[in-house]
């Protein structure tokens, strides 16, 4: 099963990397900013053709936008987590590890 919310988060992440607003991306695709917002929130399912257009504009590939977006796979969201945290300082990563550890302990209690 494909997680369209995860795809939307990746699109937003790559859009921000190339310093485009939703309006900028929408204009380049000849669609509304509202449509881009709905894709980024996972509300609208995106076609492969449109995903390819977006990937090209964001200087990435369709496979990169789709990687780790299959909720049935063990590596679901791993690359997204790595990408989000790759520039964090060690103390920031320590905070994240503590939060995840605490959450993991709570989840495993049930």
Domain extent listing, the chain: 1-75, 77-110
Which CATH code, of 3.30.70.141, 3.20.20.70, 1.10.1740.10, 1.10.260.40, is assigned to 1-75? 1.10.260.40
Query: What CA–CA distance (Å, rounded) separates 4 from 1?
Result: 9
Query: What CA–CA distance (Å, rounded) separates 42 from 101?
Result: 28
Q: In this predicted model, what pLDDT tens digit does every residue of 47-76 receive, in sequence order?
A: 999 999 999 999 999 998 988 776 666 776
Q: In this predicted model, what pLDDT tens digit does every residue of 30-42 receive, in sequence order?
A: 999 999 999 999 9
Q: In this predicted model, what pLDDT tens digit does every residue of 73-104 receive, in sequence order?
A: 677 677 778 878 888 999 998 999 899 899 98
Task: State the pLDDT at residue 1.
Answer: 78
Contact criterion met (CB below 8 Å) for 88 and 96: yes
């Amino acid at each position: 099963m494909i997680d369209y919310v995860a795809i939307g988060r990746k699109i937003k992440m790559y859009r921000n990397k190339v310093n485009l607003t939703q309006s900028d991306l929408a204009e380049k695709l000849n669609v509304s900013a509202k449509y881009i917002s709905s894709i980024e929130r996972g509300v609208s399912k995106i076609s492969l053709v449109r995903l390819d257009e977006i990937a090209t504009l964001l200087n990435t590939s369709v496979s990169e936008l789709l990687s780790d977006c299959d909720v049935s796979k063990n590596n679901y969201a791993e690359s997204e987590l790595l990408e989000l945290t790759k520039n964090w300082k060690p103390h920031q990563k320590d905070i994240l590890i503590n939060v995840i550890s605490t959450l993991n302990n709570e989840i495993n209690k049930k």
